Amino acid sequence: MTEVATARRSRITPEREAELYEAVLDLLREVGYDALTMDAVAARTRSSKATLYRQWGGKPELVAKAIRHGKPGRAGDIDTGSLRGDFRMLVSREDDCTMERNSALMRGLFMAVHTNPDLLRAFKELLVEPEMDEFRSLLQRAIDRGEIRADCPALEYVVHMLIGAFATRALIDDHPPTQEFLTSYIDAVVLPALGVPTV
């Protein structure tokens, strides 16, 4: 809804917006965040730099929005009727190839965040916070169903557990994260920490 509204306000069609985000992700994979220029985005997408700045404010915001747009749907829309089912659906939306590609992209951006406070801020505002809101609604439904106790202390660490597993997998085990790894990690760690039985 929000994206359509944004597009209308600025007279950029959703299709054109999607095309632009795709071009930004391609450029990010090709040259990385630091070498990515608004000139290159403008050239690749045949738009004017003025339009890009008016629409997004700057490179950090454009990149954060492009990443968010590339994510498969909204976690908050997943509603299988059980938390375990929701997590499995969440993991199954990206096949292993896509996950490996995105894991490399995210590692690169995690590096860039380290030296670009503007990118860190844009990431938090436009990517991490909205994702956490989505996640909270998924968890809230599990609380409402009685699967998780409302005062379960692990609730505030679900994102740490999931992003942490994703980020450390390559470092510790020499493999990119896969659906199988994440599913096994969710059953072994996340659900028990939340007090949800896995069988």
Least separation, in Å, of the C-beta of 153 and its own copies?
4
Binding of its own copies at residue 169 (CB under 8 A)?
Answer: yes
Measured from the CB atom, is 3 or 187 closer to its own copies? 187
Segment 8-67, which members bind its own copies (CB under 8 A)? Answer: none
Among the listed ranges 4-12, 57-65, 83-91, 191-199, the one in contact with its own copies (CB under 8 A) is 191-199
**Residue 167 has which token pair?**
């980020």
Binding of its own copies at residue 175 (CB under 8 A)?
Answer: no
Binding of its own copies at residue 188 (CB under 8 A)?
Answer: yes
Which residues have a Cβ under 8 Å from the Cβ of 1 and sit 6 or more positions away? Answer: none
Q: Determine which residue in the list 49, 114, 145, 175 makes contact with its own copies, applying CB under 8 A.
A: 114
Q: Determine which residue in the list 4, 31, 97, 111 makes contact with its own copies, applying CB under 8 A.
A: 111
Angstrom distance (rounded) from CA 102 to CA 107: 8
Q: Determine which residue in the list 16, 97, 164, 175 makes contact with its own copies, applying CB under 8 A.
A: 164
> Do residues 195 and 152 touch, judged by C-beta distance below 8 A?
yes
Angstrom distance (rounded) from CA 161 to CA 94: 18
Binding of its own copies at residue 106 (CB under 8 A)?
Answer: no
Binding of its own copies at residue 161 (CB under 8 A)?
Answer: yes
Least separation, in Å, of the C-beta of 6 and its own copies?
25
Q: Determine which residue in the list 167, 178, 179, 183 makes contact with its own copies, applying CB under 8 A.
A: 167
Least separation, in Å, of the C-beta of 114 and its own copies?
6
List of residues contacting its own copies (CB under 8 A): 107-108, 110-111, 113-114, 120, 123-124, 128, 153-154, 156-157, 159-161, 163-165, 167-169, 171-172, 174, 184-185, 187-190, 192-193, 195
